[in-house]
Amino acid sequence: MSEPLNNKGCATTIVVLGSLHYDIMVEAPDRPLKGETVTGTRWYPKFGGKGGNQAIAARLHGAEVRLVSATGNDNFADYIHARLAQADISSDYIEQLDNEPTGMSLAIQDADGDYGAVIVSGSNLAIDPAVLENEVLWANATVLLLQNEVPEALNSVAALKARELGLTVCLNAAPARSMSPDFLNLVDVLIVNALEAEALGSEVVDSLETAAQAAACLSDRFPTVIVTAGGDGVAASSIATGVIKLSAKPIEVSSTHGAGDVFTGVLCAELAAGSALETALGIANELAAEHVASA
C-alpha cells in the first residue's frame, strides 16, 4: 500500500474518533412506507459505523490511522475487529465493554441503490474519554476526524486536545443534530451533505450551485466548508480558495451506501498529506463515485 506523504516527507497519520457498527444490509424493490411490509431479495452483514468506514477509507488511501472507539464483547465485535485487522488498523484504542452491546444498524436499500437506515448506538455511547490522554495516540498525527455518531461531549474533549497539539480538526457533521457553538468553534474543516448543511442554517441545497452557496454561507463560521450534493457533485469554500465547484463523475449507481464515508476518509487522508483543497476534493469525489458504481 502506498503511503501519502506530507510536506515534510513523512507518512501521514490521522486520528479518527467515531462509531463502529455491525451493519445488516437488506435489499428490496422499495423501502417500506409506514405500516407497509415489503418482501426483500436478500440480506447480508457488513462492516459499518461512520468512524470505522472513514478510518478504513483513509487507511486504504495510504494514511496511518489510529481509531478510537468501543465495541461490546460479543459476536458482532468479533466481526468488526477482524475486519479492522484486515485493513491494518489496530484495535489498541478500541475498548471492549462487557456491559454494553456492540453498535449496529439496519439499512434497507431499494432497487435504485438508495437506502434508509436505523442505528442502535450501544457501545459507541460509552467510549471512555481517558483514552484521549494517551500521548502515543497523537504522536505525529496531523488530522483529527470526527462524526456525530458518538456523544458531542466526547468529540469536544478530542477537539480541544487536537487543537492544543496543533492538529486540524475535521468534522463530518453526520447524522444531523444540534451542536453547541463551543464545539463548533473548534472545527477547522466542516464536511456536510445537503440535509446537514440545511440543519446548520444554509438555504435548501438541491443542485451544485446551491451547494456552493451553502458552502459560502457556512464559511462565515468555519475556516473550510465542504458540501456534498450527491449526483450533482461537491462544493467547497475557504478563505484561501474562495468557492470551488466540482461536478460529479457520471456513473451508473450500484449503491450509495457508504459513499459519503469514502469521500470523507479519502479527503482527510489527502489533506493530512498536504494536498491542496481542490486536489483533495477531486480525488475524494472520484473515489466516492467509483464506490457508488461498484458497491
**CATH number of the domain that residue 104 is part of:** 3.40.1190.20
- Look at the block and give the residue holding cell 455518531: 149
Q: What is the domain count for the chain?
A: 1
Q: Is residue 216 part of a domain?
A: no
In a domain, 82, yes or no: yes
220 secondary structure, DSSP code: T
Is residue 192 in some structural domain? no
Are 21 and 258 a contacting pair, CB within 8 Å?
no
DSSP 103: P
Closest Cα partner for 58 from 262, 281, 285? 262
Residue 5 lies in a domain: no
pLDDT tens, residue by residue, 260-295: 999 999 999 999 999 999 999 999 999 988 877 675
| Structural domain for 105, as ranges | 13-32+39-187+249-294
Residue 221 falls inside a structural domain: no
Amino acid at site 257: H
What's the rounded mean pLDDT across residues 154-181? 97
Does residue 73 belong to any structural domain of this protein? Answer: yes
Nearest to 161 by CA among 130, 127, 124, 189: 130
Tens of pLDDT, residues 94-107: 999 999 999 999 99
Q: Is residue 244 one of the residues assigned to a domain?
A: no
> Is 4 within a domain?
no
Instruction: List, by residue number, the catalytic residues.
Output: 261
Phi, then psi, of 220 in degrees rounded to 5: -70, -20
pTM of the model: 0.91
CA 262 – CA 201 distance, rounded (Å) = 25
